[in-house]
Structure formats: C-alpha cells, structure tokens
A and B are shown apart, each in its own frame.
Chain A
C-alpha cells in the first residue's frame, strides 16, 4: 500500500510533444530532492524561481522554472515542488529519473489526491471532483465537477446528514429521557421529517442523469433485424454528428461503438450489427449480448425496413423491446410502397420516424427525438450533482434505508428500531463523504486516477 512517509514524484502533463511539461514532487523531502539537482535562485514559498536542472556530473539538462509550496499550503498539504520544464518525451523523463535517484519514488495513480484526502484537504466528493474535472469531456461536466470541488455536493450531503442526525437525536431523547417531561415529536412530525429527508435524497438522485449525460456516459443502441440498415444509420449519424472525443471506456470491444454528438453532448452509440453472429453457436452469444446491451442502454433505436413488409423477426424484436425505452424508425423510406407502411399489433409505437440512412433524410428529426428522449434539453448546471456510480449507489442505499424507516414508522415499530434503520442511512451518507471509510473504498476510488494528479 501507499507509504505516507515517502516523497513521491510524477510527470503531471500528458506524454507527447508539447511546449512545456511539469514534474511534481510531494512529501517531506521534496525541497531537498529538487534542490540537489537545481542550480539557480533560492526557493521561496509559492514563488517561481528560474534556474537549471543539472545531473550528477553537473551537466545541464534543461532550463526550468521551479515552484516550492511549503506545507501545509499545497495541494497535498505536504511540502511540494513543481518543476516546469520543456515538453517532449525526454526532458521530463530525465528529471523524473534524477529525482528518483535522489530518493523520491514514482507516484501511484491518484496518489497526490489521495494524500490531499488523507491530509484532510479534500473530502471524498471533492477528491472525486478533481478526477471529474480532469476527465471532463464537455463544459457542462467540467462545470458540475467544479461545483463539487467547491463543496456543493458536500453541502447537500451535510444537510441530509444533519437532518438525519437531528431526527435521530430527538428520537434518542424519547428513549433515554422518557420518564422526564421533554418535547416529543408526534407521529406526523416524524413522518414529515422523514419525507423531507427523502425528498432531498430523491432530488440528489435525479442529478445523476445530468451528470451522466454531461460526462458522456449516456448510451444508445441501434437494434433491428439483419439488413434493415443498422450500420448505414450508424455511419450516417457519425458522418454528420461524430463527437470529437477519443477513447471509450468499458468493455466495448465486442461492439462497434462510437461517440455521437447529440445536442452538444457526447453519447455512446453502439451498432448491434457489430455483435458477431456468423456461426451458429456464436449467434446465441450474439443474441445474449444484444439483450444484455439493450438492458443497459438508455435508449434503443429500433429499425424496420420500408422495402419489405414486417416479418416475424421484426415482431419478435418489437415484443422484446416493449419493456425498454426505444424509438421506432422506418428506414429506406425512399423505397416505401406508395400505399404506406403497415405496422401490426406487436408495435406499441404507431408513429414511427421515416428516414433514409443512405440518402440521409429524416436524420435531423431523429437526432432531435433522441435529444428529447435522453432529456438532454433539460440539462442545466446543478450545484451539487452525483458524478459517479459510487456516489449514486451510496445515495440509493440511503434512500432505501430512509424508505425502510418510513415503512417501519407506518407499521408502528418502536423508536429503537426506527433509529437503528436511520443510523444505517447515516452510515451510507457518511461513506459517501468519506466520514465512514474503509481501505477498499479508498483503493477503489484512487485506482481510477491517472498518475500525477
């Protein structure tokens, strides 16, 4: 595990050619280690000092600007040094090696932020916000993360925390001071308090979708029978709306997956035709995979072929899709019979969108519809939103506990039982802000950082 006694170092800028690069040190020997290889002015707290980095033979490696941050006035609350050197592959590597030879060790992913957390500079939601800012794909997601770094999510959690705490305190008093005259809450007041807490929790849960969309984690899939034009639509949408982002998270290797720009946000689009189903056995795997995908995405685009009547395969897919959000699209509208396209009872949606992927007609309307269905129109910068699955899970567990407390109250359960459920809720909130923590949670969170933050 991480030893907090070590002085750690890392290159904090991305690998590759650029004008400048930054090498960072944190830990009690930061200043010592960096000074050993530095020839220039005297380092002063939070002042930029110009000079040279020299190797053990006194050979100049680079002209640099060095900044020393005296503990605890740094990002990690430890002594830190930042070396701003020339970019490219070699210089920063050389400096890093010098520092390692002088006693520093390479930082683990996220270790700078881990230290900031361990030293009490950030709470967990704030530490996660740092990660979100760095990985922000849109202005909106950067904005949401910035709010969290400012403590907006923490404030909301603190409020839920203190409301739970207050209610528990009052109920506790009724147990421990029942033989004295104290102001008691009546049934309705307890219920009101619980509903208020639950409303706050639900508000918080509702912010998760905003965060997900803003972070480019909303997902759509193109579904339909063979040869209806799934890949054509996939390519048509990409040609006009390809999102300028790279790298897609998750295990998407089995599908053809790209980011598509919907209303200004990157949305993950998957072509189920990309799921291989050539041989018999694999076909079953393909179908299972499609089903799994459909149950995980936010929206499906279900394509029918206007050049032929609806067949059994279409109907089967339609039936399966009934329980999932989907848009019904009739492709090859240019080849449609003059009498129109007939849908039967298997289709809950009687008003399909008519498009032609090849001729690229009707695509604008489709994109607008996707935008509407993903509630992208409603996105606004919420102060204090849930930005990770971990945060969402914690709040969802809190919601469940509070729900259980409401049920227990309705069933006339006695105070000590209701309190034990509410204390559970308090634990869940605490886990989120890091008040209640465990090594596993920490490891999980910090393993998602890349080196040098």
Chain B
C-alpha cells in the first residue's frame, strides 16, 4: 500500500492532520490502535476555555474541524472572563463525550481519500534520514511520502492507581511500547511526563441540591461560523468545594498515592495539580474548588474536575464522600495518573517536521503539550506543512504576533518543555490583537489560499468584513446619546469608554443601522483596542525586524567569538531560524544576541 501521507494516531491532532491531507486531495491513511476510539476525549468533556478558546477559533478560521465538531455535540456553551476585556475572553463548551467521538469518527470515515487502518505502528521506514513509511506490529509495511506521528500518551503509557500499575495508553486501552524505543534508537531524545485525571461519578448517587448551579449562556455562543444549530436545552455544571475532612483522609493516606510514594518519575503539570498535591502544597487552604461536569445528554455520568488523583480507589472514594452531596456517591471509573514518553520539542522545526528525519512530523501530546486544543492546533499545522511540502510550496509558519498557534509552536520549538505545556493568554505578547473575535481576519485568507476554507465560508466572511469596515468608518462620525452620559458622543468614543457596555451602545444605535449584535460587537472591540494596538506598533516593528533576520539552517555557533558557553550550547541545541527566535531561548543573553547580530551582519 502506498499513500501520500500517513498519520499515526487517531486523537485530536491525528484527526485534524488526516482531514487536512485528504481534503487537500492527497491519499491519506490514519492508523489507529482502535477504530472505535477515534477522537476519544481522555480527560474532561470540555473544549475551549481561557486561551484554548482562541486556539479553537483559530483552527476554525483556518478550516479545521474541532470547533465545528464541538458546536454540533456540545451540551453547554459559555464565554469565560466576561468581566474582563474582549481580548482575554474565551469560549468554552461542555460536550457529550460519546457524541463528540461519534461525530468526528463519522467525519473521518466519510472523508474521501482518507483510509482508516487499525494497527500498531512499531517502527518508521527510514533511509538516508528520510522517512518513507511505517512498519506495523503485524509485520506489514505501509509506504508514504510524509508521516505525521500523533501518538498522544500512548508511548510507553503506564497508568497508576495507588499501588496498581497498568501499562496503558488510556484507561482500558493498550499502550504502544515498541515505537518509543525505536525512536530512541534513531537518536531522538525521549523524556517522560505525567498527567492525571479525576474519577467519573454516577450521577444517580449525587445530591445536586448541595451545589452551586452554573448554566450556559443564552443564546449558546458557538465556536464556528459554520455552525447553525440555534438554541437548545443546555445542561448545567456545578461548583462545589472540598473540606478539611477530605483533606485529612488524603493526608493520612499519602504514602499510598503513586505520586507521593515515588513510583512516578514523569513531571506533571503545575497548573493542573492532583488533589494530593493541592492538599500538601497549600496546607493552609481549608477548601479547594471542584467543578462537576456532565459527560453527556443521555448518560448520568459526571466528571469531577479538580479531583485528579493517583490514590487507591477506596481512598479516593472515602475522601470524596466527605463532600456534602457526595455522601453516597459511586464511581464509574476511578481517577488515575498516567506516565508517558514524549519527544522534547526542541527537536522540531517550526513546521513541526523533525530536524533529524526528513518527512517525519510530530504533533500533539507526544510533543509535551496537554489539552485537546493544543493537540488539534499542532495536528492542523503538521498536516498543512506536510501538504505544502508535497506540493512544493512554502511552509506555513505563524509568528507570535499572528496567532496563538504561532505562540504555541514557537514556544515549543524555542523553549522546549519539561512539563506538560498548556496555552495561557499571558504567553501571547500581542494578545490584545490575538482575539477570538478577529480570528478570521487574521487567518482565513491563509486557510482559503491553502484550500481548507471553502469558497462559501470565505464569501460569507468577506461580506461580513465589508459590513464591519463600513460601520467602522460611520461610527467615527455618528453621534448617539446614551442614558446617563450627559452629551451625545460618537459611537467610536462610546466604544472606547470602559464604563459603557457594548450592548448599551447597541440598544441606542439609530434604527437605520441594520446590524446584528455579534457583528456590532466585533466592530466595537476593534475600536476599543485600536489605540492600544497603535501603541504596541513600535514594539511589533522591533519584533518583526528580529524575526526577519534569518540564521542559516546549519549554522555552527561553536566558532563564534564572544558567545558565552551556555549560549553556544543552547543555540546548537535549538538551532533557531531567526535572530528573534534565538533571543527567546533561555540562557541566551542580550549580549549574546548582539554578538550574533554583529556576526550575521559581517558575513
């Protein structure tokens, strides 16, 4: 069998990559360990959230799938950080875990030019440092021009529940053991990470009356402009808290926790600590917040966010039953910790192709990230860049001022990571510009050029954009009177004032302005940040200038006088492709950059 493109792994990264390849007309194979577990959500049944929502919007603007799939299978939609400015607001959706999987599985199954193959990849076919296919455990080989590896937590996955250890890629699924050692033999650096997931609860054994209810927004805020689902009956989430009795049980049984008994070597995420970690590290805190998320619309199962644990099942149960409302709760699945191999991402180019092997791309959790959104973004970009290479066209790499996707990949390849990497808005220097509302303005043209954004979606976007540009001009002159504000001022001025709500302005617009609130809001947001973005302009120019100072691919830093030893080591390790990227590598000082700048100039 011969393909243009092989994707190894059917998670969120794998699905995006496979859809990119096949939709752009290349014969694509998706190899998965289990056809029935494609796009399985291994942790919480939610998509989006702070900074992650921006990623989903960007993926959608480029013609990716995760946003649309979430919209179609979501059971609750909200916008987070509503009390803050629009630049840091993010969509978040609870999804029906089963329906999300079914929807995405159907999408890939029905996709022409995409073949789903069940099997375990144990090696890559490589000659002269060029990857040309994969080998399966069944001894079968499959050739392809490009291979994208999206193996998630499956490389040497090992689940810990108390003292129990289960080799596993996800609960109930076998791990992939041979591939990791194959990659190590090929000279790749392999690291080990840890993450955890909380128990799943039987909703019929929960007393919900004890909790604070959290409803979805009305109307439901969808991710994708393609979604046309309208209003529906959303399912609530619940807020609740642990208490000192819970903490006491956990503290008394710490030695039984896989994490605290030293049985886990991998490094876990600091931003998503286990309940053991929280209780130990914040001894003074009397309570920790928990968040109860529904697993779907036709199941009574619940996910208890904030209670990730590697304690034995009976201790987990005993501790959580101390929480009011959970007195009689039963588990459908205990919490567990999972350790897995990853490839520290400094081994990648910004296209996500490995520096070591031509034609081999890595995307998703195997690169040390966490989160469906981060994985999907990488899958999309690996897919796009593999295709660009097949087409003989220029790579698509976003810089930090263009997209969160750019920030994500730049961080990975420039800083690598030794803990599971998650996106935050504070990672983005230009976040006042990298907003959810303008994702299409920033990216759709590229998505359309590549061929992922359909003509229909593109035309609709163009129409909306034209409308917005007209309003933007009119609002500079159009005066309105807002109740509570003494004199009438221009619409632009009202939008810039922090004390006036956008909806308040919308309600007071003259009736001849025919515009829906969501479109008006986009215009208002643009006006609001205009001034601040202008102030960043100089900084942006400086950034762009540094990014444009190219460093040749096989540049040897060893011989450069004036570079400090640590800098030489780091620069040789990361092989940055621009002076800007070099300046972000930790251990490389401004002095080193000045030396490098002088050297590049004098060449």
Chain A residues at the B interface, C-beta cutoff of 8 Å: 1-5, 27-28, 78, 115, 117-120, 172, 175-181, 411-417, 420-421, 423-424, 427, 434-439, 442
Contacts and interface: CB of A to CB of B under 8 A. Distances in A.
Contacts of B51: 176
Contacts of A438: 542
B579 to A, nearest CB: 11
Contact of B85 (A117, A181, A417): A417
A120 B85 contact: no
Contacts of B592: 120
A443 to B, nearest CB: 11
A255 B288 CA distance: 74
A104 to B, nearest CB: 14
Top 7 nearest A-B pairs (CB, nearest first) are A414-B85, A172-B426, A4-B562, A176-B424, A414-B84, A120-B591, A181-B289
Given A119-B562, A417-B532, A1 B85 contact: no
A448 B462 CA distance: 54
Contacts of A118: 562, 591, 594-595, 598
B539 A1 contact: no
Contacts of B88: 175, 414-416
B535 A115 contact: no
Given A3-B602, A4-B595, A417-B532, A434 B590 contact: yes
B542 A175 contact: no
6 contacts: A118-B591, A179-B50, A179-B80, A181-B289, A411-B499, A434-B590
Interface string B410-426: 00000000000000111
A4 B600 CA distance: 11
A2 B561 contact: no
A175 B84 CA distance: 8
A218 B580 CA distance: 41
Given A4-B562, A175-B81, A178-B81, A420 B498 contact: no
Given A118-B594, A180-B289, A437-B590, A415 B84 contact: yes
B595 A176 contact: no
Contacts of B597: 439
A436 B590 contact: yes
Nearest to B49: A179
B394 interface: no
A178 B499 contact: no
A1 B601 contact: yes
Interface in B47-92: 49-51, 80-81, 83-85, 87-88
A118 B536 CA distance: 28
A416 B81 CA distance: 11
Contact of A4 (B84, B535, B598): B598
B481 interface: no
Q: Which interface residue of B426, B536, B539 has the most chain A CB atoms within 10 A?
A: B426
A43 B406 CA distance: 54
A28 B559 CA distance: 12
Given A3-B602, A118-B591, A178-B81, A420 B50 contact: no
B468 interface: no
B426 A176 contact: yes
B589 interface: yes
A177 B564 CA distance: 37
Contacts of A423: 429
B472 interface: no
A414 B498 contact: yes
A130 B159 CA distance: 60
A73 to B, nearest CB: 15
Contacts, number: 105
A427 B535 CA distance: 13
Contacts of A3: 598-599, 602
A435 B590 contact: yes
A416 B432 contact: yes
B400 interface: no
B575 interface: no
A293 B560 CA distance: 49
Interface string B487-504: 000000000001100000
Contact of B532 (A78, A172, A420): A420
A424 B87 contact: no
A415 B431 CA distance: 12
Interface string B293-321: 00000000000000000000000000000
A427 B590 contact: no
B414 to A, nearest CB: 17
Given A115-B562, A181-B289, A434-B590, A412 B498 contact: yes
A280 B532 CA distance: 51
Contact of B594 (A28, A179, A414, A442): A442
B591 A119 contact: yes
A4 B599 contact: yes
B431 A416 contact: yes
B85 A416 contact: yes
Contacts of A427: 539
Contact of B87 (A2, A119, A120, A416): A416
Interface string B525-567: 0000000100110010010000000000000000011101000
A178 B539 CA distance: 28
B535 A424 contact: yes
A437 B593 CA distance: 9
A411 B528 CA distance: 14
Interface string B219-249: 0000000000000000000000000000000
B85 A415 contact: yes
Contact of B425 (A175, A179, A434, A435): A175
Given A4-B561, A179-B49, A179-B50, 11 more contacts: A1-B598, A117-B591, A119-B564, A172-B424, A172-B426, A176-B51, A414-B88, A416-B84, A416-B85, A421-B532, A435-B590
Contacts of A436: 590
A42 B535 CA distance: 60
Given A181-B289, A438-B542, A175 B498 contact: no
B424 to A, nearest CB: 4
A424 B424 CA distance: 20
Given A5-B561, A420-B432, A438-B542, A120 B589 contact: yes
Contacts of B561: 4-5, 27-28, 78
A12 to B, nearest CB: 21
Contacts of A437: 590, 593-594
Nearest to B271: A177
Nearest to B594: A118
A357 B84 CA distance: 69
Interface string B360-390: 0000000000000000000000000000000
Contacts of B87: 416
B499 A412 contact: yes
Nearest to A424: B535
A353 B593 CA distance: 59
Nearest to A120: B591
Contacts of B499: 411-412
Interface in B266-290: 271, 288-289
A176 B590 contact: no
A118 B563 CA distance: 8
Contacts of A119: 562, 564, 591
Contacts of B560: 4
